[in-house]
Structure 1
Amino acid sequence: MLLRMKPKQIFLPLLISLTVMLTQLNTTYAQSADGSFQIKGQIADSIDHKPLSLTTVRIKSMNDELINVAVTKDDGSFSFSGLPSASYKISIAAIGYGSKLRIVDLTRSSSKVMELGKINLGYQTTMLTEVSIKADKPIVRRKADRITYDLKADPESKGNNVLTMMRKVPYLSLDGDDNLLLKGNSSFKVMINGKPSGSLENNLKAVLKSIPASTIERIEVITNPPSKYDAEGLAGIINIITSKRVSDGYNGTVNVSESGPTGGPGVGASFTAKAGKFGISANGGGSINDYPTTYNSSNRQTTGATPTTLAQQGNQKSNNKTAYFGTELSYQIDTLNLLTAQFNYNGSRVKDHSGQISTLNGTTGLLEQYSFLNDGKATGYGIDAGINYEMAFKAKKNELLTFSYLFSTNLNDRKGNVDFNDQVNFDTPDFQQNDHQKFKEHTFQVDFNTPVKRVNIEAGLKAILRNNSSDFEYKSFNATDNQFELDPQLSNEYTNTQNVFSAYNSYQINLNSWNVNAGVRVEETVIRANFLSTSTTADQNYFNVVPSVSISKQFKNESSMNLGFSQRIRRPGINRLNPYVDRSNPNYEVTGNPYLRPVVLNDIQLGYGINKKVSVNLGLDYSFMNNLDLQVVNFNPNTQITQITYANTGKSSSFGLNFNLGYSVGVYNVSLNGNAMYLWLAGDVSGNKVENNLLMYSSTLSNVVRLKHGWALNADFSVNSHSPTGLQGRTNGFFYTAFNFNKEIIKNKFGISGGVKNPFTKYRNVVNKTFGPDFNQVYQTNNYFRSFSVSLNYNFGGLRDRINKNRVGIENNDVAN
C-alpha cells in the first residue's frame, strides 16, 4: 500500500496510539492473576553468610533454553516473575565462587510464589587443568524466527575465512563468483553483533574473505525478521556475532594465513576484555588477494534486418587489498543504566588490468575492429560509528528504554584508462572514466521494551537520513592538444537523498511450549534525486504498512515447528540508482536507473527442526512479488551497442525447500546443507514479454573426523545448479570440493590448519548466457578454481563472565545494493 503522507501526519497519531495501547495492556494484565508463578531467592557467602550482590542468576527450561537473566541486588535477593507452571533450572555464578544449580518444579507448588530461601555459595579453591566434554555442542539451533550456526563448534572454522564457511550455514550458499546468497536470493541485509554496518555491505565479499572464521562466534540467519527490524532485505538478515561473553579478564585470537595461486597472505585478530564497569570487544585484520591472468571470450549474435556477429577475446588480472577493524565499548554506569558504543572501518584498494580484441562482422564482411588495454583502479573506505544509552527501571528491570544514534559513511573512487589500437572503422578516441561516489547516513532511534506477564511488548520510532552522490566524468583524448578533455555530454553530477521514517509495535507471547511473535511496522520513504548537470529532479514518496507474524511450537522430544508470514521491502541502493555509464567495453554499456521504485515481497515459511544425535532442520518457503526491479538488456542495432540497466518490469514467485541434516557417530560427523527452489520469473523488455523460469539447487556435504592428539580432517563436496542473472540470463552450475586438516598443537591455545580447494580442477569455465529481442550472447571466462592454504591460530587470555551489551539498538537493513 502506497500513500502520499507527511511523516508528521503518520507518527503523531501513531505514537499516541502506541502509548494508549501499552497503558491498556499494562492495566489489563496487572489486574489479572493469569495463573503465573514467581521464583524468589537470596544469594549469600557460605562462610560469613553475607549477601552477595551483582551475582548472575539464570533461569532455563529443562532443555537448557535460556528464559531470563537476573543480577542480585545489594541484599543478595533476586526474583523471576510471570512464569508458567513448569520445571526450571536455576543456575548461579559469582566471581571467585563455585557455581550452583537448582531444579525448581512449579507443577507441584500450591503457592504462586516459590521461595528458595538463602542459597549459600562456597569459595572456588581448586583450578581445573582440563575440562572433558561429554557431549558435542550443537552446531545448529532453531528459533521461531531464525536459525543459528555455531562456528566455534565446527573445527573447519579454524582454517577458513568467513565467506567459505557460509556454505555450511543453513539457508546460505555461494554462487559461482563467490557471491553470498540467502535462500538463493542476493537481496538480504548483513549486521555485525546485531547492528548494521553499511561499510561492510558496501564491500561484503572482499571483507568476508578477509575475516578468519576462527575470530567469529556464530552466524544467525533471521529468515522471518520481527517488526523491530527494518523491512528491507527480501530474503532476510544475516547477523555475524563476533563478541565474546567475558567478565574481569581478557582473551583473544590471532590468525595468520597464506593461500595461492589465488589469494595471498592474511592476518586477523579478535580481542575481548573487561575491567570493572568497562568492557571492550574488537576484531580486525587484512588480506591481499592476487588473481593471476585468466582469459575470457564473448560472442553476440543479432538477427533482424542487418544480422551481425560480435566476437571478443580478452584477458584480465587484478590485485585486491582489504583491511577491516571493528570494536564495541561498554560502560555499566549502574545496575539500571548502560552506555555502549561501536566503531567499524573497512578499506580496500583494487588494481586491475584487462585487454581485449574485438571484431564485428555483418553479411557484407568486416564492419568494425579494434583492440584495447584497460588499466583500472578503485579505492574505497567505509566507517560506522554509533552510541546507545539503555535505561532500566527499578520497579521492573526488564523494562527498557533505549536511545540510539548511528553515523555511516562510504567513499568510493573508480578510475579507468582505455587505450585503443588496431582500429578499423572505429573512431572512438582513447578515454578516461572517473567516478567519485559518496554515501552518508544518520540514524536516530528510540525503543521501548516491557514484559507484561507472559507478553513482551516492544515499540519504537526511527528516522534514517541518507545522502548519496556521484560525480562522474568522461574525458576523451584530443590528439591535437595531446591531452584528455572533459566531454560534458557523457558526464554528470548526481545526488540522491532518501529519508525513511518508521514506527513499529510487536508482541511476543510465551505460552508454555508455544511462542508467538506478531507485530506491524509502518514506513514512510521520501526520495529526491537531483541531476546537477542537467538541472532536473526526480521525486518519489512511499508509505508501507508491513506486518510480520511467527508461531513456534516446542515438543517434548526436543523438536520444534514454526510458521511465519512477513512482508519485506527492497529499496534500490546507489549502485542501482547511479546513472553513471560504464563504457569500459565500448560494445557494452552498463548504467543504473535513478527512477527505480521499491519492491514489496510477501513470504510464507514453514519450518521443522530436531537436534539430537541426528539433527534435522527443514524449511519450506513460498514468496511472490510484483513490480520487481530486474536487470534489463537491450541491443541497439544503430549503434551496435548492448545496453544494460535496471527497470521495475518484472514479477516473480518461488517455492523452495531448505535443508540441513547432521549425524554424529564416535569421532565422525557428517552434515548436508542445501536448498532447492523453482523460480517463476517474467517481465517486459522493449514491449516483448520475457520468461526465465528454472529449477535451482545447491548443497554441501561436509565430513569431519576427529582423531587423537588434536587432529581433525574435513572433506566437503558441493554442487550448484545453473542460476538466473536477471530477467534475460542464466549462468552454468559447478561442482566444488575442499579437503582440510586441523592440528591442535597446544590444547585450546595453538593450532595449525591447511587444505586444498578443488584439487582436481585448476580452472572453472563460467558461462553466462543472455537473450533478448533480436540477439543472443554468451560470455565465458576461465577463473582459477584450485587453491592451497595454510593458517596458524593462537588463543590467549582467561575469562569468567560476560561484557554488558545493550539489548536493543539500531539495526539498519533497508537498502539493496
Structure 2
Amino acid sequence: MKSIIYRIIFFVALTISYTVAGAQNAAPAAGVAKITGTLLNETGKPADYATVSLLKAKDSTVVKGALSNENGAYNFIAIKPGSYIVKATMVGYANGFSQPVTVSANSTTVSVPEIKMQPSSKTLNTVTITGSKPLIERRSDRMVMNVENSVLAAGNSAMEILERAPGVSVDKDDNISMKGKQGVTVMINDKLTYLSSTQLATLLRSTDGNSIQSIEMITNPSAKYDAAGNSGIINIKLKKNKQSGTNGSASVTAAMGKHFRDNTSLTLNHKEGKFNFFGNLSRGDTKRDNNIAIDRNVENGGDNTYFSQITKMGSERHYNNYRVGADYDMSPKNTIGFVASGYFNPSADNNTSQTFIGTQPQVFNTYQNTNTTIKSKYNNFAFNVNDRWQIDSTGQALSVDVDYSKFTNSANAQYNTYYYNVDGSNAGIPSMLRNQTPSTIDIRTAKADYTYPFNKTTKLEFGGKYSDVKTDNDLEAQIITNGEYVNDPTRTNHFIYDEKIGAGYVNFNKSFKKTTVQLGVRAENTSSKGDLVGTAQVVNRNYLNFFPSVFINHTINDKNEFGFNYSRRIDRPSYEDLNPFIYYLDQYTYEQGNPFLKPQYTNSFELNYTYNHTINVSLGYSRTTDVINQALVTDTVTKATYQTNVNLSTQNSYNLNVNSPYTITKWWTGNANVTAFYLGFKSGANPQGVAGIGTLNDGKVAYQVKTTNTFAVTKTFKAEIMTDYSSSLVYGYFNVKAQYSIDGGLSKSFANKKANLKLSVSDIFNMRKNNVTSENNGNLIDIHQKNETRVARLTFTYNFGNSKIKARQHQTGADDEKNRVKNQ
C-alpha cells in the first residue's frame, strides 16, 4: 500500500508543478464585491455562451472575462472598488455595452441592467473566429470534459469516449463506475436514459462521438434531479447549433480492428419564421470478437470438480438511430416543441464454448462443446412534448415535459451441447435447447419545474414528477423430446413488473458576498409489484423516502475556492435484474435475476478545492446500505455456476481526486487526472437466503491515472495521446486485475475549416484485458476476458449550409426510468 501512496503523491506533485510553473507569481488582492447581469438577444431570449468582459470605465482596460450561461446570466467575483463597463460579444451580433456601474467600498453585489444584443448588419465571408475550451474544467457542482475539440472524439462512440473521462471506468459487463463506485446514472442532454447497463451500452456504442459536445460528471446531484444513482450522474451533452439559418453536417467513419466497422450520421437544422425543425439520423455496423477463459474449482464435501472453459463470442450489431423534432415560438418568451426519437437495432451472436471437466487440476475425464446462436431485435420509440416559458427577465421560468417511451425486444436462442469422453468418443445424448424471449417496457412520465428569483441573490426552485412503468417479459423455453421441441416447464416463466413513482422537490439558493448556498429536499413515493405469473412469487412494495441535499461554495480570492456538498440517493434494481429468467452460456454457466432485490440507499459527502480555476482537488466519502452487488453462485449438486445480484449489508467508499491541466510549450498542452479510492464491503451470511454465497468483509485501496497530451503541430493539424492505468481493486465478491491502455490520434482541418479528417487508434499496443477472480465458500473462479480493443478509425466530417441557425437544446423527463431498461 505504501508504494501505491508514494506513486500517487509523486504523480500529483509532478502535475501540479507543471501548472504552478506557468502561473503568475503574484496573486491579485481579494476584492470586495460581485457584479452580476443578464444578456438577451433581439427576441428577448437569453443570449447563451456569449463572451463577457469587465472593463475599467476610465481606459477600457480588461479586468476579467466570463461566459454567459444557458440563461444568459454572467457574474464577476472579487471586484475592487471603482467604475466599470460590461462588454458582451457574440458571433453574428454587434458588441453590447452597459452603462458605467460603480463598486463602492461598501458594495457586496452590484447588478448591471440587462444588455440586449442586436444582430450584426455586417456579413463576414472570410473571417473565421474559433475558440478552444480546456479538455477538463471544474464548475461549482461538476467536472466537465469538453469532447468537441478532441481528436479522439472523431470516429469513437460515446461509450469509448466515456471510458476516457476522468475517474470513469467501464468493466467487462459494461457497468459504468465513477471514482470506483458502480451505480452511475447516465443522462443525455439532462434527460435520464431509462436504460440499464447492457442496453445503455448498446445506445452509447451506437452514438457517434462527433455529435458530443461535452461530458459532465456530477458526483453529488441536487434535489432537482431524480434521486437515482449512488455514484452520481454522468450527463452527455450533445452538440447544438448556436446561430441562425439552415445548416447540417455529415460524418463517415471506417474502422478496422480484427473486423471492419463503419458508421455514418447526418444532422440537419432549419429555421423559418417562428418554426425550427431539426433531425439526426445515424447508422452503423459493428462486428467484434470477445474471448473468455474460465477456470473454476467446485468443492462439495471434500470432493473437488475442476472446470476449464474457453468461449469464443462473435457478435454483429447493426445500429439505426433517429431523432427528429420541432419548436414553435408562441412568443419571444414561450416556446413549445416536440421530440420523437428511437432506434431499431438487429443483432446476431454466435458463440462456441468448450468445457473440460475432471477431478484433478488439468487432468480431465470428459468435455463438452456448446454452440449458441442468438438472433435479437431491439426497438425503441420515444415521444416528448415540452413547453419552456421564460416568464420575465429576472429569471422566473416554468418548464413542462410529458414523455412516452416503449421498448420492444425479442431474442431467439438455440443452444446445442455435445458430450465427449477425453478420447473424443461420444459420452451422451446431445442436449438441444431453444429459448424465445419477447419483452416490452412501457414508460409514461410527466414533470414540471418552476424557478422564482426573489432578487439577484436569492432564488427558489420547486417541481414535481410522476412516472408509470410496466414491463412484460415472457420466456418460452423448449427442449427436444422424441425428436420434437416441447415446452420445458422448469425453465419457462412469465414475469410482469409494475412501478409508479411520485416525486416533488424544493431548492433554495442564496448568494452572499463570497459564498453561495443551496439547500434542497426531494420526496419520492414508490409503489411496485413484481409478479412471476402462475407462481407464489409476488413481491409488493410501497415506500416513501426523503432525499436532502446541501451545497456550499466559498471564494477566498481570485485563485482559491472551496466547496462542500452532501446528498442522499437511491438506486432501484433494473427491471431485468428483478426478472428471475435464466440466460445460458452453457448448462454449467448462466445468469439469473433476483425478484427479491431491494433498493440501495447512499449518503455522500464531498469537499472540493480549486486553485487558479485549473487545479481541482476533491475528497469524498459515501456509505451505501443494502448495496446491490453481483455474485457468482455455485450449485455444488449440479456443479453449475451462475451470476446473480444480491443485497449486501454496506459499502463504504473513500476517494481522492486531483485534476490538473499543464502547459509544456505553446504547442504542447495536457491534462492529468489521478483518482485514489478505497472500497469496503460487508454482508451477512447467505445474503437474501441465496445458498452458496458466503459472508463478505473485504476492501482494498486502488487508484486510476489518466493523462491526455495535445500537440498543435500547425493551426489546422494536431495530434493527441491518451494514457489510462487502473490498478487492481476489490468490488464485492470480485478481485479485478489492473488494466492499462494507450490511445492516439491525428486531426487535419481544411476547406476553410468546414471539413475535417481524423485518424485515431484505440489501445495501440492491444494491452487492455479484463481479468477477474472470485472465491466464495471455497469455490474458486478465475476469469480472463479479452475484447477487441485495438481499433483504427478514419473519420471524415463536413459542415454545410448556412451557419446561422440556433436550435434549442431539448430535454425530456423520462430519463431515470429508461436508465433501468436492459438491452444486449
Match of residue 74 from structure 1: none
Match of residue 741 from structure 1: 746
| Secondary structure class of the residue paired with 1:708 | coil
Q: In the alignment, is the contact (CA less than 8 A) between 1:41 and 1:115 conserved in 2?
A: no
The reply on whether 1:416 has 2:416 as its aligned counterpart is: no
| Secondary structure class of the residue paired with 1:391 | strand
| Secondary structure class of the residue paired with 1:575 | helix
Match of residue 696 from structure 1: 702
* Cα distance, 1:39 vs structure 2: 7.8
Letter in 2 for 1:767: N
1:275 to 261, 272, 276: 272
1:470 to 469, 473, 484: 473
CA offset digits 1:728-756 (Å, max 9, x no partner): 22232222011211111223211211132
* Cα distance, 1:536 vs structure 2: 4.3
Q: Following superposition of structure 1 onto structure 2, how do residues 292-691 of structure 1 map, counting pairs within 5 Å?
A: 292=289, 294=291, 296-302=293-299, 304-362=301-359, 369-393=367-391, 398-423=395-420, 429-453=431-455, 454-478=457-481, 480=482, 482-534=483-535, 536-610=537-611, 615-664=614-663, 665-686=665-686, 688-691=694-697
The structure-2 alpha-carbon separation of the partners of 1:617 and 1:764, relative to structure 1 and needing over 3 Å to count, comes to closer
The reply on whether 1:173 has 2:169 as its aligned counterpart is: yes
The reply on whether 1:795 has 2:802 as its aligned counterpart is: no
TM-score by length of 1: 0.84
| Cα distance in 2 for residues equivalent to 1:807 and 1:101 | 32
The reply on whether 1:759 has 2:764 as its aligned counterpart is: yes
Match of residue 163 from structure 1: 159
| Cα distance in 2 for residues equivalent to 1:667 and 1:92 | 29
The structure-2 alpha-carbon separation of the partners of 1:400 and 1:691, relative to structure 1 and needing over 3 Å to count, comes to same
CA offset digits 1:63-90 (Å, max 9, x no partner): 415378579xxxxxxx99xx99988764
* Cα distance, 1:38 vs structure 2: 9.7
Letter in 2 for 1:164: E
CA offset digits 1:92-134 (Å, max 9, x no partner): 679976222347434149999989799997963352623465x
| Secondary structure class of the residue paired with 1:490 | coil
The structure-2 alpha-carbon separation of the partners of 1:361 and 1:88, relative to structure 1 and needing over 3 Å to count, comes to farther
Letter in 1 for 2:213: E
| Secondary structure class of the residue paired with 2:646 | strand
CA offset digits 1:286-310 (Å, max 9, x no partner): 2211124746343334253322212
The reply on whether 1:194 has 2:196 as its aligned counterpart is: no
Letter in 2 for 1:587: Y
| Cα distance in 2 for residues equivalent to 1:544 and 1:451 | 28
Q: Following superposition of structure 1 onto structure 2, how do residues 203-214 of structure 1 map, counting pairs within 5 Å?
A: 203-214=199-210
CA offset digits 1:17-43 (Å, max 9, x no partner): xxxxxxxxxxxxxxxxxx999989999
* Cα distance, 1:600 vs structure 2: 0.3
| Cα distance in 1 for residues equivalent to 2:365 and 2:802 | 72
* Cα distance, 1:794 vs structure 2: 1.2
| Cα distance in 1 for residues equivalent to 2:324 and 2:40 | 36
| Cα distance in 2 for residues equivalent to 1:181 and 1:42 | 40
Q: In the alignment, is the contact (CA less than 8 A) between 1:198 and 1:408 conserved in 2?
A: no
Unaligned runs of at least 5 residues, structure 2:
1-32, 55-63, 422-426, 687-692
| Cα distance in 2 for residues equivalent to 1:769 and 1:41 | 57
* Cα distance, 1:340 vs structure 2: 2.3
| Secondary structure class of the residue paired with 1:796 | strand
Match of residue 237 from structure 1: 233
Task: Give the superposed CA RMSD.
Answer: 3.6
Aligned-pair identity in percent equals 19
The structure-2 alpha-carbon separation of the partners of 1:158 and 1:305, relative to structure 1 and needing over 3 Å to count, comes to closer
Letter in 1 for 2:471: N
Q: In the alignment, is the contact (CA less than 8 A) between 1:183 and 1:675 conserved in 2?
A: yes
Letter in 2 for 1:797: G
Letter in 2 for 1:582: Y
| Cα distance in 1 for residues equivalent to 2:160 and 2:234 | 15
CA offset digits 1:245-292 (Å, max 9, x no partner): 434313333221111224611112333333332224433312211124
| Cα distance in 1 for residues equivalent to 2:625 and 2:329 | 48
2:779 to 775, 791, 801: 775
Report how many aligned residue pairs link the two structures: 758
Letter in 2 for 1:464: S
Q: In the alignment, is the contact (CA less than 8 A) between 1:249 and 1:273 conserved in 2?
A: yes
TM-score by length of 2: 0.84
* Cα distance, 1:413 vs structure 2: 1.8
Q: In the alignment, is the contact (CA less than 8 A) between 2:269 and 2:805 conserved in 1?
A: no
| Cα distance in 2 for residues equivalent to 1:122 and 1:645 | 60
| Cα distance in 2 for residues equivalent to 1:477 and 1:340 | 54
* Cα distance, 1:407 vs structure 2: 1.0
* Cα distance, 1:391 vs structure 2: 3.4
The structure-2 alpha-carbon separation of the partners of 1:38 and 1:96, relative to structure 1 and needing over 3 Å to count, comes to closer
| Secondary structure class of the residue paired with 2:103 | helix
* Cα distance, 1:805 vs structure 2: 5.2
The structure-2 alpha-carbon separation of the partners of 1:179 and 1:749, relative to structure 1 and needing over 3 Å to count, comes to farther
Letter in 2 for 1:284: L
| Secondary structure class of the residue paired with 1:812 | helix
The structure-2 alpha-carbon separation of the partners of 1:815 and 1:440, relative to structure 1 and needing over 3 Å to count, comes to same
The structure-2 alpha-carbon separation of the partners of 1:116 and 1:405, relative to structure 1 and needing over 3 Å to count, comes to closer
